[in-house]
Amino acid sequence: MSAKSNQRGAKAPLLGSKIKLKIEKLAMGGAGVARHEGMVVFVPQAAPNEEVLAEVTLAKKNFMEARIVEVLTPGPSRREPPCPVAHTCGGCNWQHLNEDEQRKQKEAIVFETLKKFNRDLEFNYLPIQPSPRVLRYRNRIQPKFKNNRFGFFARNSHQIVETMDCLITEKTLTEHFAEVKNWAAAKNAKDLLRMEMYIAEEGDVRYGLITDEDDGIGFSQVNRFQNEDLLRTALDWAGDHAYEKVFDLYAGAGNFTFPLAQKYAGSEIIGVELNPKLVERARSKIHDKRMTYFMSDVETYMRRASIGKEDLVLLDPPRAGASEYTMQTLAAAQPRKIIYISCHPVSLARDLNWFFAHAQKMGVSYKLDRVQAFEMFPQTDHVETIAELRVDS
């Protein structure tokens, strides 16, 4: 963005100037939040409760952005990142904070986002679930290769930060970096910017190009250690009711579908997933007549879904969340319980609003029983959340 296009708004004269800021907290997206003469300033790479000297890089009518020039008084949670390339690599944006602070900020971000969208929303908010591993947890990554350099994109750039390790990635994968670099070099292409490495379900390491025709593994939970806790919680919150049908929407390759089928042995189990590769993988594992897997967009499926009052619905949409139509159809169907798993607090908050607005219109009373943030992506600002909705009888 040119300096000129950054200059719109009342604070334009401040652009490029250096100001002292006190960081109050962190926001979604990872930046620190400070105030200058009443205006919010977002400061990447900041820690809560620290004083920084920062240069204004963007001045809009309602907010500014600033880059740290000097940390004047470090916040208590600031630390030297464990990874030597963390200052430049675009992969982790919270390595400069200790893990307690990372969790505390995520817990607050989820709560504040839900309340921001709906001040009257009441729920039992459980403490954030820590990840069993804070490093070496990722089992799927997208390294880059350019001009014989292997690594990851730098922060806000397509330059390569060269590295032969990644501290948040499982060793089983990083041990193959040299092999993958040689493979990429042998392809004789100037750059390979869309590739993927992952640990397959079978335990072996796989890698390849991502193309428009082949999107690699599609989707898998990247933190298998924390996924176990998430699964356990989802099954526990779903309860012991003998549901007639159990729906797993945005089901992937069946991460939740198969455990649900095992727990609800008398129920009909229905998975809905758009990605053909994931559907095929799930279908190859089905050996039970109670289970059906639909390859469909969820909204399209909802137009003909017969969800009843004695059913359970689990949904785990991508970051964009579900659609208004999907949430309205869910509210109208009145399933006994809904477990919503989200990887983006904003789309969760928006979807809950759509759901409650429609439920109210239909005269149906639902309760947001429990919400819990899950630390699925340590060293980054990303957070997973699980929420339980049930008919309030």
Ligand X SMILES: C[S@@+](CC[C@H](N)C(=O)[O-])C[C@H]1O[C@@H](n2cnc3c(N)ncnc32)[C@H](O)[C@@H]1O
We find the least distance from the C-beta atom of residue 342 to ligand X, in angstroms, to be 9
Residues 342-371: x/- map of binding to ligand X (CB under 6 A)? -x----------------------------
List phi, psi (to 5°) of 228: -60, -40
* Residues identified as active-site: 343
d(CA 104, CA 99): 9
Q: In this chain, which stretch among 4-12, 30-38, 244-252, 366-374 interacts with ligand X, using CB under 6 A?
A: 244-252
Residues 302-321: x/- map of binding to ligand X (CB under 6 A)? --------------xxx---
We find the least distance from the C-beta atom of residue 357 to ligand X, in angstroms, to be 21
Q: In this chain, which stretch among 127-135, 141-149, 207-215, 250-258 interacts with ligand X, using CB under 6 A?
A: 250-258
Q: Does 278 bind ligand X (CB under 6 A)?
A: yes
Give the residue closest to ligand X by C-beta: 252
Nearer to ligand X, 219 or 355 (CB): 219
Exposure on the CB side of residue 183, measured as CA atoms within 13 A: 14
Residues contacting 279, CB < 8 A, separation 6+: 273, 293, 294, 295
Strand 149-153 relative to strand 160-162, pairing: antiparallel
Residues 216-235: x/- map of binding to ligand X (CB under 6 A)? --xx-x--------------
We find the least distance from the C-beta atom of residue 78 to ligand X, in angstroms, to be 32
Q: Does 197 bind ligand X (CB under 6 A)?
A: no
Number of residues counted as binding ligand X (CB under 6 A): 19
Q: Does 297 bind ligand X (CB under 6 A)?
A: yes
Q: In this chain, which stretch among 131-139, 201-209, 246-254, 359-367 interacts with ligand X, using CB under 6 A?
A: 246-254
We find the least distance from the C-beta atom of residue 317 to ligand X, in angstroms, to be 6
- Give the residue carrying structure tokens 């009843």: 308
Q: Does 274 bind ligand X (CB under 6 A)?
A: yes
- Give the residue carrying structure tokens 């990635």: 169
Q: Does 294 bind ligand X (CB under 6 A)?
A: no
- For every residue of 144-159, DSSP letters joined together read EEETTEEEEEBTTSSS
Q: Does 166 bind ligand X (CB under 6 A)?
A: no
We find the least distance from the C-beta atom of residue 250 to ligand X, in angstroms, to be 3
Q: In this chain, which stretch among 47-55, 166-174, 272-280, 345-353 interacts with ligand X, using CB under 6 A?
A: 272-280
Q: What is the dihedral of CA 260, 384, 168, 127, to 10 degrees?
A: -100
Nearer to ligand X, 150 or 219 (CB): 219
d(CA 299, CA 45): 38
List phi, psi (to 5°) of 131: -85, 140
How are strands ordered across the β-sheet holding 39-43?
A: 18-22, 51-59, 63-73, 39-43, 32-36, 25-26
Q: Are 236 and 258 in contact (CB under 8 A)?
A: no
Cα 94 to Cα 11, 40, 386, distances in angstroms: 28, 20, 22
Binding site for ligand X (CB under 6 A): 218-219, 221, 250-252, 255-256, 272-275, 278, 297-298, 316-318, 343
